[in-house]
Each structure stands twice: as structure tokens, then as C-alpha cells.
């Protein structure tokens, strides 16, 4: 199976949520304010990149630009991890009508499962490796429920939450949808570093040219 993805907050391209999808033949787009540590050929057919600081004014335009570059009207997977205004950017994307099949969101695991905390919008926010970022899992579950998404998993270190659109619920009949069962507390040190260093050459080997 191949699909289309967009990741906002892709970092330098060496470690993020969607590299594995490239290895499975997916095509997608990355958005980040940082420069990439890899070289994407101009005629690359399976990965597009926009280097930009994401704001409330441009998030929809950036998202739609990548959809156009990918020749896609909707996405199979959308990942958002900017360590700050994530909740507010997500709200805009959903309000506009975009409905990716799967959505991956970084949640602030310092808050218990059913807490509803959202970082106030701050256009100049920059994460300083502390616990002031994003939104609690409960806040994300509440807004995602309004748009017919269901929480199906959280990463073991208490970082990413995985949501599916309700049209896919029949594929998840053996799991619970309760936030209390799926919430994972913050064990960030569990995945601090891979056994080997991330390589630009490895990621570049996944890129296809036309």
C-alpha cells in the first residue's frame, strides 16, 4: 500500500514521524523552519519540502501548497509537531475541511489523561526544552472528537497520539477507544537516542527522481 502524507515539524529530515513511510513507497511533504540535513533533488517525485516558519496566517497556505505539489485532495496521514501552537494550527486545518485518514499529534503528557489544557497562542513562541508546549491529550481528544476522529494509541514514552477518522473504526475492533486506557505518561528518556547516528545518506536513498 502507498499513500500521501504531510508532516509539519519535520526537523532537519533525519528523524521524524514519516521517514518510514517513504521506505514503504509513500509520497509526502515536509514543512519546517529548519534547513534540511539532506539534499532533495529538484526532480524528486516522492518528497517535497517547504522551509518556513509556520504562523496562524500561513499554515493553511503551506498545507494547501503541499497538497497541490502532491496532486492530492486529501491525505492518508498528517503529522503535526511544532512544540508550541500545535492545537491552534490543527484547529485551522480541521475547520478548513481537511480530513486526513490518520492524524499524529504530539501531546503534553505532563497533564493527566482528562486534563483540558492548551498553550495560549503565541506567534513568537520557541520551545526551550521545557514542559510549556502544545496541549494535553484530553484537549486534543475533545477537538478531534468534534471532527469525527478517534484516539487509537499513544507512543510508549508519552509523546505522540494517533487518531483515525471514524470511517476506519472497523479496522480497530480489538482496541479500546477510552482515553484513560490509551494515555501514556511522560517517559521521554526511553527514546532519547538510537543505537546508531541518523544518516543523511540513508534518507536520501529513499528519494525517487523522475
| pLDDT given for residue 199 in this prediction | 93
| pLDDT given for residue 1 in this prediction | 63
| pLDDT given for residue 190 in this prediction | 66
Domains of the chain (ranges; CATH) run: 4-204 (3.40.50)
- pLDDT reading at 154 higher than 60: yes
In percent, the amount of the chain with pLDDT more than 90 equals 88
| pLDDT given for residue 92 in this prediction | 97
3 class by beta-carbon count within 10 Å (0-12 exposed, 13-18 middle, 19+ buried): middle
**Cell numbers found for residue 125:** 513562541
- pLDDT reading at 188 higher than 90: no
- pLDDT reading at 86 higher than 80: yes
Number of H helices, E strands in the chain: 6, 7
205 — pLDDT class (breaks 50, 70, 90): very high
Cα angle 71, 77, 83; round to 5: 115
194 — pLDDT class (breaks 50, 70, 90): low
- pLDDT reading at 193 higher than 70: no
Residue from 130, 131, 132, 174 nearest 153 by CA: 174
Amino acid at each position: 500500500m502507498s499513500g500521501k502524507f504531510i508532516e509539519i515539524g519535520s526537523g532537519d529530515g533525519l528523524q521524524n514521524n514519516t521517514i518510514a513511510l517513504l521506505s514503504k513507497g509513500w509520497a509526502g511533504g515536509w514543512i519546517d523552519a529548519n534547513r534540511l540535513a539532506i539534499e532533495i533533488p529538484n526532480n524528486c517525485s516522492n518528497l517535497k519540502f517547504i522551509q518556513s516558519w509556520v504562523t496562524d496566517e500561513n499554515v493553511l497556505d503551506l498545507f494547501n501548497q503541499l497538497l497541490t505539489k502532491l496532486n492530492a485532495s486529501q491525505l492518508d496521514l498528517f503529522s503535526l509537531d511544532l512544540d508550541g501552537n500545535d492545537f491552534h494550527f490543527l484547529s485551522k486545518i480541521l475547520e478548513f475541511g481537511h480530513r486526513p485518514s490518520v492524524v499524529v499529534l504530539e501531546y503534553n503528557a505532563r497533564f493527566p489523561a482528562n486534563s483540558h489544557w492548551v498553550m495560549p497562542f503565541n506567534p513568537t513562541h520557541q520551545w526551550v526544552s521545557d514542559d510549556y508546549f502544545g496541549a494535553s491529550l484530553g484537549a486534543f481528544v475533545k477537538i478531534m472528537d468534534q471532527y469525527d476522529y478517534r484516539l487509537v494509541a499513544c507512543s510508549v514514552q508519552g509523546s505522540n497520539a494517533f487518531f483515525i477518522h471514524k470511517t476506519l473504526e472497523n479496522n480497530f475492533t480489538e482496541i479500546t477507544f477510552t482515553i484513560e486506557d490509551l494515555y501514556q505518561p511522560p517517559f521521554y528518556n526511553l527514546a532519547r537516542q538510537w543505537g546508531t547516528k541518523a544518516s543523511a545518506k540513508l534518507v536520501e536513498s529513499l528519494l525517487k527522481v523522475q
